[in-house]
Structure 1
Amino acid sequence: MENKIGLYKTVSKASDGILYKDRKSKFYAYTFPVTNEKNIKPIIENIRKKHPTANHVCYAWRMGVEKQRHRANDDGEPTNSAGAPIYGQIKSFGLTNVLIAVARIFGGTKLGVGGLISAYRTAAQLALESSSIIEKSVKVNYKLCFSYPLLSKVMRVIKQNPIEIIKQDMSLDCTIEISLKLKDAAQTENIFKGIHGVSISKLDD
Structure 2
Amino acid sequence: MTTQASTRPLPSGVYSSRPWRIHEITEDFELEDVWALPVQGGADDLPRFVDSMTSGDDRDFPAAYRLLFAIRWALGRLLGADEAEHGLGRRVASLRDRLPEDLRDHPAPERDDSPFQPLYLTDREYAAEIANRTMHGVLHLAWVEDASSPDGYGAQMSVLVRPNGLLGDAYMRFIKPFRYLVVYPALLRTVGRRWETAQGVTR
Q: Into which bin does the TM-score normalised by the smaller protein fall?
A: under 0.3
In proportion to residue count, which structure has more helix? 2
Identify the structure with bigger relative contact order (alpha carbons < 8 Å, sequence gap 6+). 2
Q: TM-score, normalised by structure 1?
A: 0.27
In proportion to residue count, which structure has more strand? 1
Q: Which has the larger radius of gyration?
A: 1
